[in-house]
Amino acid sequence: MPLFPNFKLIIYIILVISTSMAVSSTNILIIWLSLELNLFSFIPLLINKSKINEIEASINYFLSQALASILFLARIVIMLNLHWQTKIIFLLLNLSLLLKLGMAPCHYWFLIVIEKIRWINCLIMSTWQKIAPLFIIAYIIKPRTFIRTIIACLNVATGSILGLRQLSLKKILACSSITHIGWATGRLIIKLPCLLTAYFLLYIIIVSPLFLIINKTDKQLLNNSWHKLPNSLKLSTIILLLSLRGLPPLTGFFPKLLIISYLAEYSITAIAIIVFRSVLSLFFYINIILNIFIAIQNSLKEKKSKTTLNLVNLSLRTSLLGLILIAL
């Protein structure tokens, strides 16, 4: 029982304030303090005394974020005392922010933590907790196109490959988050930070209702009982997944088209890597969508005749095949 009746509300307010401080400040020390306040305010949301898994997740989250904070603070100390060590400063800052964001090659803690926490906390970790570090990458770090190209390609590739090996829906969406962070970082290659803000805002708009739907239907998903869900929720989940994948002509396709058009002037190789790896990510979405299609068929068995059911079956499979061909 919390000491205050509105304990969670207070925590959410502190989360908003700490992120706002990090985004609005120009002093690197205040940014670090804001990130620390954000860390210590999010941990109480992760802890659930009745579930050991969530306690383990909160410890893993704290250790990874504490290491990132140490690297960030070390960067500040070196910057103040050894002005000539610019390469060390840049390396420490990038490592700390990659850890904060759960980006490759510092992504393992992100997959471990997100598997053990509740869906609402998964949503916060995948969206709100990434705003401040992304802002620092976009507006504080001096642009180095080559490094950013490597980071963007590495994250898109890592998220796509890891997603193919996952069976857990949480880990699949975590891999999707890594892929989208790679796309967002790709916008920094063209030195337009405002596009990163627009892309990530659109990602939040698409992924938030998806997480909320899954959170509402968590028990059915655990039992693999998609057929018990209303058809409206099934279709909404399909549309959101395809939009998250960036399938044309859905909303998620247009920001990716925009970044490809801009990147064409800078790096054709980066475009080839990002697009090819993104096609791989389609396959772990197909597994989820096929389960939903099968659930729709099963729900129609009780209501429709055999002829109608066959027509629906054919239309669903044709639609899915068409979507795959469009993506390829």
The model's pTM is 0.81
Flag whether 216 is in a domain. yes
Tokens at 149, concatenated: 């190209």
Measured between alpha carbons, how far is 157 from 278 in angstroms, rounded to an integer?
A: 8
Residue 275 confidence (pLDDT): 72
Measured between alpha carbons, how far is 145 from 72 in angstroms, rounded to an integer?
A: 21
Q: What does 117-130 look like in DSSP terms, one character per residue? A: S-HHHHHHHHTGGG
Question: What are the contacts of 314-320 at 24+ separation with CB within 8 A?
Answer: 317/293, 320/286, 320/289, 320/290, 320/293
| Cβ contacts of 42 within 8 Å, gap of 6 or more | 11, 15, 61, 124, 129
Let me know: does 187 contact 201? Beta carbons within 8 Å.
no
Residue 72 confidence (pLDDT): 87
Flag whether 236 is in a domain. yes
Phi, psi torsion values for 320, nearest 5 degrees:
-65, -40
Where does residue 234 rank: exposed (0-12), middle (13-18), buried (19+ CB within 10 A)? buried
Flag whether 227 is in a domain. yes
Q: For the chain, which residues score pLDDT lower than 50?
A: 1-3, 222-223, 305-309, 311-319, 321-328
Flag whether 1 is in a domain. no
Flag whether 12 is in a domain. yes
Number of domains in the chain: 1
Flag whether 138 is in a domain. yes
Let me know: does 53 contact 121? Beta carbons within 8 Å.
no
Residue pLDDT, tens place only, 42-86: 998 888 666 788 888 889 999 999 999 888 888 777 777 665 556
Q: If residue 318 lies in a helix (H) or strand (E), which one and from where to where?
A: helix 306-327
Measured between alpha carbons, how far is 62 from 55 in angstroms, rounded to an integer?
A: 11
Amino acid at 21: M
Residue 91 confidence (pLDDT): 74
Residue pLDDT, tens place only, 180-230: 888 877 666 656 667 777 788 888 888 888 888 888 776 555 445 555 666
Give the range of the structural domain holding residue 42, as residue numbers without chain letter.
7-327
Measured between alpha carbons, how far is 26 from 34 in angstroms, rounded to an integer?
A: 12
Residue 308 confidence (pLDDT): 47
